[in-house]
Structure 1
């Protein structure tokens, strides 16, 4: 009888352990597969430092240094020149920046400029699995400047996939809500998490950001720091935002105080990809 009682007592003590051990193992495995990734968004003003605007100086090295110092894995760039007269007919700024930072590049043209191209780009430390270019809508007769969206897909360590995008919305107030709605439509693709960086030409309490907030989560919504102008900044128009918050967690967000290289200050955010 005593043996039976001891045996049953042992079973009752062992049973919870059998449930706890697999649970702990599963938790440890999940933590092991979490990946952190750092994202930079930067309007680079075609690599023309504002203090050198009159001379027309192009300083690609200065932009590359900002990117390298940020230790970003992914970079969303705006106002990128390719083979233009002002930046050099033989210069592809996206490719040159990729070379200087040891990253992969994808450029999307939005307008013709000085015999070359002008637009947006993304840089990635991860190989680019696929890429896509999209035009954003404008109201007919608005006099706006053509705008676009550059999107890439990458695969992180552990096999997780991520979509990353760069955009630059128009200055015209009539076009920005149309473009925001199109961004939401284009970047809604099911299970894959999405991170979007860009110059949205819109302050946080604007209609445009309100539209985007319905679908995206910004990496910072409080005291985030201003991004423009580069000296004595007084407003925020550059953002990093994301979809699938259950798969992405913001670890940090900051504005980089770099007043020389461009007329915008770059922003950097770090994520945990779950």
Structure 2
């Protein structure tokens, strides 16, 4: 995936066995909203794993409107004052979806996950999950274990992504890469203005292969949209064909 100054014309129709998954920290929609919408529409994800969406109790309408603007569906539901969720395209059937809490210290900001069981028609279902882990290093591994535990209860292949607040050498990143397989590209994701460290990633079960699509995204809009770069992976679900 490359970051250039302009958008290319739309490419060919997506492979019928591929789901495009993107993870994106949108910084509470505080930056250039029009630029953010343009970037997400250019990515055209089937699953959009979001971190730092507005989290106050009456912000649901803002998130629903944002989903409409980017051409995706948001399942809503109780969010426990968290800022993590996900959205899906109409290519996928959403069989169930929820938000769940991760363990945090008393008085800390609530942290959790958005999780959905989705199915590409003609394929068996999988679980997609979005997470935003703690800034405090000692808290991230317990959060990651709780997240994988919640996904494992469904007994399905998993695609998991988010803002890990940790680089690949960290023990939490390495823990996730052992339980799943790292499928996102090796490149900096923060900051969008001056990319210098990789703290966002996508992981998948062994039977799900992932490749980085050859996207050309507008650099000016990326820098204006939010403080993170998006992470995008085309997940091959051929192994789940029925």
**Higher CA-based Rg:** 1
Cα root mean square deviation, aligned: 2.4
Q: Per-residue deviation at 1:272? A: 0.9
Which of 84, 94, 106 lines up with 2:75 in the alignment?
A: 106
* Structure 2 partner of 1:48: 30
* Structure 2 partner of 1:249: 209
* Structure 1 partner of 2:65: 96
User: Which sections of structure 2, spanning at least 5 residues, go unmatched?
Assistant: 1-14
* Structure 1 partner of 2:94: 128
Q: Cα gap change, 1:226/1:150 in structure 2, threshold over 3 Å: closer, same or farther?
A: same
Contact 2:123-2:237 at 8 Å conserved across structures = no
Contact 1:203-1:235 at 8 Å conserved across structures = yes
State TM-score, norm by structure 1.
Answer: 0.72
Aligned pairs, number: 217
- The Cα offsets for residues 161-191 of structure 1, whole Å up to 9 and x where unpaired, read as 1211111011112211110111221111465
- The Cα offsets for residues 62-114 of structure 1, whole Å up to 9 and x where unpaired, read as 22211110021110011011567xxxx67733211211122211356353xxx
Confirm whether residue 78 of structure 1 aligns to residue 51 of structure 2: yes
1:228 partner SS: coil
1:92 partner SS: helix
Q: Per-residue deviation at 1:207? A: 1.2
Contact 1:198-1:238 at 8 Å conserved across structures = yes
Question: Which stretches of structure 1, 4 residues or more, deviate above 4 A after TM superposition?
Answer: 253-257
Q: Cα gap change, 1:90/1:157 in structure 2, threshold over 3 Å: closer, same or farther?
A: closer
**Structure 2 CA distance, aligned partners of 1:183 and 1:62?**
31
Which of 112, 115, 137 lines up with 1:173 in the alignment?
A: 137
Q: Per-residue deviation at 1:153? A: 1.1
**Structure 2 CA distance, aligned partners of 1:83 and 1:92?**
11
User: Which sections of structure 1, spanning at least 5 residues, go unmatched?
Assistant: 1-32, 50-58, 112-117
How do 1:131-170 and structure 2 match up within 5 A?
Answer: 131-138=97-104, 140=105, 144-170=108-134
**Structure 1 CA distance, aligned partners of 2:62 and 2:50?**
10
